[in-house]
Amino acid sequence: MAPPSAGLSSCRNRHGHHPLVKLAIEAIEAYVKERRVIEPPTETVPEMSEKAGVFVCLKKGGELRGCIGTFMPTTQDVAHEVIQNSISAATEDPRFACVDCAELPGLDYSVDVLSPPEPVKSLSELDPKKYGVIVSSGGRRGLLLPDIEGVNTVEEQIAIAKHKAGIAATEPVILHRFEVKRYE
């Protein structure tokens, strides 16, 4: 059996991934294999030093395996946000068991960096392919990222976000939209 660090070094050499995705992969592999939280790299790309909400989604065999994020920044920069949300996507998504070492080679990753949410006055201002949506009612809030496979209408997007928040289908909500830069 290879030492725990062997998988991490091979991970760092993967080609074709944006540095934010490489950071997500490294964060998850270090945490799952060693229960270690990594630090951001010393050489960063400009996106890593911005402040923004970030979602990290994991897929296995084309199916969702974990997705956790923040719609507003909760850390000092995107790099720290990616590390925090990557580990959470792998270990804290209540819909799934924690990712284990055996699953790591079969995971696909995406990192979405969110624009600040803006209020929506009319459904005509939404587009499920271009904008994510946040629905709010009282203290409940649900979010759905844009361009989700199988979500083709604004109504579907809002219904799913309401369901995630535990908001009744007929209950009125306050709407916000946001855009994402998706890295895979």
Contacts of 138 (CB under 8 A, 6+ apart): none
- pLDDT reported for residue 32: 98
Spell out the per-residue pLDDT of the chain, length 184, in tens. Answer: 333 333 333 333 345 799 999 999 999 999 999 999 999 999 889 999 999 999 999 999 999 999 999 999 999 999 999 999 999 999 999 999 999 999 999 999 999 999 999 999 999 999 999 999 999 999 999 999 999 999 999 999 999 999 999 999 999 999 999 999 999 9
Give residue 15's pLDDT: 52
- Total residues belonging to the chain: 184
Residue showing tokens 């964060």? 27
Q: What is the pLDDT of residue 5?
A: 34
Asked if 117 contacts 178 with a C-beta cutoff of 8 angstroms, the reply is yes
Distance from chain centroid for Cα 151: 17
Q: For position 16, what pLDDT does the model report? A: 76
Write down the pLDDT at residue 3: 34
What token pair was written down for 18? 């944006």
**Distance (Å, whole) CA 90 – CA 151:** 24
Q: In what order do the strands lie in the sheet with 140-144?
A: 118-120, 174-178, 132-137, 140-144
The predicted pLDDT at position 71 comes to 93
Please state, in angstroms and rounded to a whole number, the distance separating the CA atoms of residues 172 and 159.
Answer: 11
- State whether residue 124 is helix, strand or coil: helix
Of 14, 41, 35, 1, the C-alpha closest to 105 is: 14
Q: Which residues share a beta bridge with 133?
A: 144, 177
Contact 109, 67 (CB under 8 A): no
Domain spanning 118-179, CATH class: alpha beta
- Decide yes or no: CATH 3.30.700.20 for domain 4-114: yes
Nearest CA among 23, 17, 19 for reference residue 8: 23
Alpha carbon 49 to chain centroid, angstroms: 17
Take residue 160 and report the two structure tokens written for it: 């799913």
169 vs 140, 153, 160, 172, 176, CA distance in Å? 13, 15, 9, 8, 17
Does residue 163 contact residue 142 with C-beta atoms inside 8 Å?
yes
What residue spans define the domains of the chain? 4-114, 118-179
